[in-house]
A and B are shown apart, each in its own frame.
Chain A
């Protein structure tokens, strides 16, 4: 249980284009999903918390107009990197909290998707 998928797993795009990344919880509903970014040899950096049916909460320093997050259903959140530039090249990872869906978990456990590697040329 607690499987999270991401699509695409990798993407290469030209500078100035937009890229959409999907995050899906496959066997549970997630009212809360999280988006992280990780540069090579660095630690995870939380970008935003995505709540179903409401606006995302962005961490300090993350541009909400550049990183658009939509959490339209209890199993899907999307991150759109708008007008991507080479400095946006990174490993983007989502996670989801199943809440009390699994009896052995509490409401603060996160399960990660496999990540999306974005390269902006």
Chain B
């Protein structure tokens, strides 16, 4: 089992819809969770971090964390074509190595 799993997509949603991106992780002891956005040919950009169970909202983005079920999701409301990118979920590696384990990413395509 991979440590961080994401559906590779592509996830295609119409403009204005809610895009829902999911991520599961294997380490029950994980305490921090991150969502990065990566446009084609560019480096990843941090968009959300979440540490506690429940929802965390930032503009059109909402991160949801459920530690019991070991999943973290990212909702994008009012999706725009400019949201089309690959979204990477990341979790700190176990063992205190101060590094992140990234999922393979979900490609989101928002069509007008």
Contact = CB atoms under 8 A, between A and B. Distances in A.
Interface in B42-66: 42-46, 49, 51
A46 B99 CA distance: 9
A49 B34 contact: no
How many chain A residues sit at the interface, stated as a range, is: 20 to 34
A97 B98 contact: yes
Interface of A: 32, 34, 43-44, 46, 49, 57, 91, 93, 95, 97, 105-115
28 contacts: A34-B100, A43-B88, A43-B102, A43-B103, A43-B104, A43-B105, A44-B88, A44-B102, A49-B98, A91-B41, A93-B43, A93-B44, A95-B44, A97-B98, A105-B49, A106-B32, A106-B49, A106-B51, A108-B32, A108-B100, A110-B34, A110-B46, A110-B90, A112-B44, A112-B45, A112-B46, A114-B42, A115-B42
